[in-house]
Amino acid sequence: MSDTRIVWAEFRYQRRSFRRDPQAMFFAVGLPLLYVLIFVSLFGNQSIDFVYNGQPGPLKAHTIMLAGFAAIGVISATFFNLAVDLVQERENGILKRFRGTPLPTRAFIAGHVGTSIILGLAVAAALVLLGRFAYGIPLPLAGLPALVLTLLVSSAAFCCLAFAFTLVVRKASAAVPLLTGVTLALYFLSGNFFLLEHPPLPLRIISAIFPVQHLNNALLSPLNPNATGLRVEWMDLLVIAAWGLGGLIIALRYFRWTPSSRS
Amino acid sequence: MTTSGTAVASTTGQRGTPPLAVISVRGLTKAYGDVQVLQGIDLDIRRGEVCAIVGPNGAGKTTTVEILEGYRTRSGGTAQVLDVDPGVPTRAWRAQIGIVLQTCQLPAELTVWELVERFAGFYPNPRPVDETLKLVGLEEEHHSRAGTLSGGQQRRLDVAMALVGDPDLLFLDEPTTGFDPSARHQAWAVISRLRELGKTILLTTHSMEEAEALADRVIVIVAGRIVAEGTPDTLGGRDQAPSTIRFRLPTDVRIEQLPELRGRHFAADRDHVTLAGADLTDLGDLLDWARASATSLPGLTVERPSLEDVYLELTGGVR
- The pLDDT tens digits for A35-56 are 999 988 888 778 888 887 777 7
Chain center to CA of A154: 7
- The reported pLDDT for the residue numbered B85 is 96
Structural element, H or E, at residue B153: helix B151-163
Contact (CB<8Å) B105/A20? no
* A263 neighbourhood in chain B, CB within 8 Å: 62, 102
Mean pLDDT in order along chain A per 10 residues (263 residues): 85 92 89 90 82 81 92 94 94 92 90 92 93 90 94 96 93 92 93 81 90 95 88 95 95 88 47
Residue A2, chain B, CB below 8 Å: the answer is: no
Contact (CB<8Å) A21/B109? yes
Interchain CB contacts (distance < 8 Å): A and B: 72
Contact (CB<8Å) B71/A258? yes
- DSSP string of B207-238? -HHHHHHH-SEEEEEETTEEEEEE-TTTGGGT
- DSSP string of B3-54? SSSSSS--SS-SSS--TTEEEEEEEEEEEETTEEEEEEEEEEEETT-EEEEE
State the average pLDDT for chain B: 87
- The reported pLDDT for the residue numbered A261 is 59
Helices (H) and strands (E) in chain A, counts: 13, 2
Contact (CB<8Å) B101/A263? no
This prediction has a pTM of 0.84
Contact (CB<8Å) B104/A92? yes
Residue A22, chain B, CB below 8 Å: the answer is: no
Q: Which one, of B68, B27, B76, B62, lies nearest residue B225 by Cα?
A: B27
User: Which residues of chain B are at the A interface, by a Cβ-Cβ cutoff of 8 Å?
Assistant: 32, 62, 69-71, 91-92, 94-95, 97, 99, 101-107, 109-110, 114, 118-119, 121-124, 145, 161, 165
- The reported pLDDT for the residue numbered A263 is 37
Residue A85, chain B, CB below 8 Å: the answer is: no
- The reported pLDDT for the residue numbered B317 is 57
* B71 neighbourhood in chain A, CB within 8 Å: 96, 99-100, 258
Angle at A237 between CA A132 and CA A55, to 5 degrees: 65
Angstrom CA distances, B192 to A94, A200, B128, B215, stand at 26, 72, 20, 10
* B95 neighbourhood in chain A, CB within 8 Å: 102
CB atoms within 10 A of CB B303: 13
- The CA distance from A255 to the nearest CA of chain B, in Å, is 15
State the average pLDDT for chain A: 90
Contact (CB<8Å) A102/B91? yes
- The reported pLDDT for the residue numbered A82 is 94
Nearest neighbour of A104 by CB, restricted to B91, B105, B145: B91
pLDDT digits (tens, 9 = 90+) for B248-266: 988 888 888 888 888 788 8
- The reported pLDDT for the residue numbered B4 is 41
pLDDT digits (tens, 9 = 90+) for B213-222: 999 999 999 9
Structural element, H or E, at residue B192: helix B181-196
Residue A226, chain B, CB below 8 Å: the answer is: no
Chain A, nearest residue to B72 by Cα: A258
Q: What is the DSSP letter of B2?
A: -
* B105 neighbourhood in chain A, CB within 8 Å: 92-94
Amino acid at the residue A171:
K
- The reported pLDDT for the residue numbered A56 is 79
Residue of B63, B103, B170 to mutate, testing the A interface (most A Cβ within 10 Å of its Cβ): B103
Residue of A10, A89, A101, A257 to mutate, testing the B interface (most B Cβ within 10 Å of its Cβ): A101
- The reported pLDDT for the residue numbered A91 is 93
β-bridge mates for residue B99, sequence order: B171
How many Cα neighbours within 13 Å face the side chain of B123? 27
Mean pLDDT of B14-33: 80
- The CA distance from A12 to the nearest CA of chain B, in Å, is 10
pLDDT digits (tens, 9 = 90+) for B112-133: 999 999 999 999 999 999 999 9
Residue A171, chain B, CB below 8 Å: the answer is: no
- Distance, in Å, from the CA atom of B68 to the CA atom of B102, rounded to the nearest integer, reads 14
- Whether B8 shows a pLDDT value over 50: the answer reads no
